[in-house]
Amino acid sequence: MRVGGSELTFPLLKGLATMKLHRKPVLSYLRGTGARAPDREGILLKKGTRNPSYQRRWFILRGNLLYYLENRRDRTPLGLILLDNCQVEPRDSTTEPYAFAILASAREGGRCYKLAAESKAELDGWLRALVRAGWSQLWELLQPLQEQYQRVCQEAGVEPQAPPQEDRFLDLPSSPAPSSFQELHQRFGEEIQALARSRATKKQTDLMEFG
Amino acid sequence: MRYNEKELQALSRQPAEKAAEIGMRVPKKGSVVKRRLVKLVVNFLFYFRTDEAEMLHLEQPPRQHCMIERTVDLEDDQEVFYFKSLILLMSQLEPERVSDQLPVTWTRSEPSWNLFESQTQYSSLCLQPIGALLLEHCRIAKEEPSGFSISFTEEPDRKYYFECSSEEQCQEWIDALRRASYEFMRRSLIFYRNEIQKMTGKDPLEQYGISEEARFQLNPH
């Protein structure tokens, strides 16, 4: 082992081996399967980091992720904001009346995203949606509901079921809920057949899962 | 696609739903199974280098800067960079270990060396995951023996493989990863809501004042 002089100065560590956020899952989640619309989307003004002016961006909220695109029709987002451990609150702005901020992981060096809506209604809608978007919030909503379900099943003398694995099961038409199991079974059957026909040309083996 | 790495790193440092040392193989040509510290936080799966578990115990700041020549055979730039930093650190903190550990030749040459100049930089490297996978629109399947794979809807043949130490551990991970998906939780919530409403005639979400929220409706297109 060769040891060099002890008074050497070296540049500050730049580009520490950066963590790799695998892109494809993130993009795939944004694009969705077509089965579910995003939780919220629309135009918001975003203040740039280097450029202090506001840029009009198309924002899409899905789950606990807030994506922003240059244009509505773009396939690839410009950026992504993780909404867990975020504070979302209105803020004062000299130029924008409906301004708000997303403070992401503020204690750990996260960013303050300065945004503005184009109307009061939009501002309120976004604030409401973003404040509730965290994963933990959904988890906290889910737990008591799950317990309630077990209890209700027990009281009714019914075996509790596991929630469905795949999204397709819940793609029911928005017409009235089926009144009997038979009807539900029939409807599922028809849906599955329709799916099978439309996917006959694609290599889809996972349709067999819920056969 | 921009995102703030610090936000993701902060997330990776949160208490995990599940964490373990597991063998992992990424869907890249020629990749092999490597032992990783795999950590599940919300709907993200983070994976860390396992030797970092050791490094986390080292807390002294670097005492002096020094240069080392040692030869190691490594796969890619990230590995090379990391390994050099690791050697430098260890040489400062535990010099007697360095001479034993490293027998082979650098396959890449680099003109400059980066050194840790402060405690903070050293801590950041230690606590940083190699990577993160978002667990949405993915399929988690059992792989024999005692392993599982994660693949994403758009590319079902491109699989991330994981090797567990037992069938039990494997099944626990599969269940935990499935439950971690935001979309799975949403579907479950909608399912329970509908079932409860059917059986009791009452909407359980009313008490929270969110029964009209679009994200909990059956089928908003």
Domain spans of chain B, in order of start: 5-73+122-206
What ranges in chain B are assigned the alpha helix state H? Answer: 5-12, 52-55, 77-93, 95-101, 119-126, 167-180, 182-200
Q: Give the CA angle between residues B208, B210, B214 to the nearest 5°.
A: 160
In terms of Cβ atoms closer than 10 Å to its own Cβ (0-12, 13-18, 19+), residue A6 is exposed
Question: Which of A9, A28, A170 minimises the CB distance to B153?
Answer: A28
pLDDT average, residue stretch A194-208: 53
Question: Which of B2, B7, B132 minimises the CB distance to A105?
Answer: B7
Fold designation for B5-73+122-206? PH-domain like (2.30.29)
SS3 for A146-166, per residue? Answer: HHHHHHHHHHHCCCCCCCCCC
Give the residue on A whose Cα is nearest the Cα of B27: A22
The structure tokens 């998906």 sit at B181
- Tell me, what DSSP letter sits at residue B218? S
pLDDT tens-digit map of B112-164 = 333 333 333 444 445 578 899 999 999 999 998 899 999 998 888 899 999 99
Question: What is the distance in angstroms between the CA of the first residue and the CA of the last residue of chain A?
Answer: 64
Token duo for residue A133: 């978007």
**pLDDT band with cut points at 50, 70 and 90 for residue A183:** low
pLDDT tens-digit map of B40-84 = 999 999 998 765 433 433 333 333 333 333 333 344 555 555 555
Q: Cβ contacts (< 8 Å) between B68 and chain A: which residues?
A: 1-4
- Chain A: nearest CA to B115, how far in angstroms? 6
How much is the pLDDT for A174?
A: 36
Q: How many CA atoms lie within 13 A of B146 on its CB side?
A: 9
Average confidence score pLDDT of chain A: 77
Chain A neighbours among B 51-70 (CB < 8 Å)? Answer: 64-70
Whole-model pTM: value is: 0.71
One-letter identity of residue B131: G
Q: Between chains, do A135 and B42 touch, taking CB under 8 Å as contact?
A: yes
Token duo for residue A189: 């059957």
Q: Which of A83, A87, A58, A86 is nearest to A73 (CA)?
A: A58
Q: What is the set of domains in chain A, with CATH numbers?
A: 38-133 (2.30.29.30)
Between A167 and A131, where is the model more confident? A131
Give the orientation angle of helix B77-93 with respect to helix B119-126, to 10 degrees: 130
Cβ within 8 Å of residue B181, ≥6 positions away: B43, B135, B136, B138
Q: Between chains, do B196 and A152 touch, taking CB under 8 Å as contact?
A: yes
A76: three-class secondary structure by DSSP: coil
B contact test, residue of A23, A60, A138 with most B CBs within 10 A: A138
**pLDDT band with cut points at 50, 70 and 90 for residue B10:** confident
- Tell me, what DSSP letter sits at residue B61? P
Q: Between chains, do A8 and B67 touch, taking CB under 8 Å as contact?
A: yes
How much is the pLDDT for A186?
A: 63
Q: Between chains, do B3 and A7 touch, taking CB under 8 Å as contact?
A: no
Between A32 and A116, where is the model more confident? A116
Q: Between chains, do B1 and A152 touch, taking CB under 8 Å as contact?
A: no
The structure tokens 């599955």 sit at A192
Q: Between chains, do B10 and A17 touch, taking CB under 8 Å as contact?
A: no
From CA B207, how far away is CA B210, in angstroms rounded?
8
pLDDT exceeds 70 at position B19: yes
- Residue B139 near chain A (CB below 8 Å): yes
Q: Between chains, do B134 and A25 touch, taking CB under 8 Å as contact?
A: yes
Chain A neighbours among B 148-207 (CB < 8 Å)? Answer: 152-156, 158, 178, 182-196, 198-200, 204
Give the residue on B whose Cα is nearest the Cα of A20: B131
Between B55 and A70, where is the model more confident? A70
- Residue B109 near chain A (CB below 8 Å): no
From CA B25, how far away is CA B47, in angstroms rounded?
11
**What is the DSSP pairing of strand A112-116 with strand B2-3?**
unpaired
- Residue B2 near chain A (CB below 8 Å): yes
How much is the pLDDT for A191?
A: 64
